[in-house]
Amino acid sequence: MTTLEIILQSIDLDTLSRVRTVSELLSVALGLAISYLAYLGYRRNRSRPMLFIALGFALILGVPGLALVVLRFGLDAPIPIVNSVGQVSELAGLVAILYGLWTPQRT
């Protein structure tokens, strides 16, 4: 048996699941922090593209993060529906960021 096989067999799946959940929640928190900072940039400079970037980050990480909470912490929801809502939200967020980056700055 190789060292990699020994390591893989010794991994506790429950611990791995907890680590993944914490990692996902940390990603959501960081994404929402970025979204908030982008929103503050919008308010300070009245930069409409920055508003779309803030919206995009909120859609990419906020809605799927809420879906994570729904699935992991006991609310009974069909997994395909929750995953579909998360996927559509991510696509809409990417479109919002693209629009925000593509839109010319009005002065």
46-81 pLDDT tens trace: 888 999 999 999 999 888 887 777 777 767 778 788
Question: What pLDDT sits at residue 98?
Answer: 95
b/e map 79-98, b = 16+ CB within 10 Å? eeebeebbeebbeebeebbe
pLDDT at 41 over 80: yes
Can you give the pLDDT at residue 40? 94
State pTM to two decimals. Answer: 0.74
What phi and psi, each to the nearest 5 degrees, are found at residue 24? -65, -45
Q: Give the pLDDT score at 73.
A: 73
pLDDT at 58: 92
Specify the residue for token string 């593209």: 49
User: 6-34: per-residue pLDDT in tens?
Assistant: 776 777 778 778 888 788 888 888 888 99
Position 52 scores a pLDDT of 94
Instruction: Please state the domain extents for the chain.
Output: 19-102
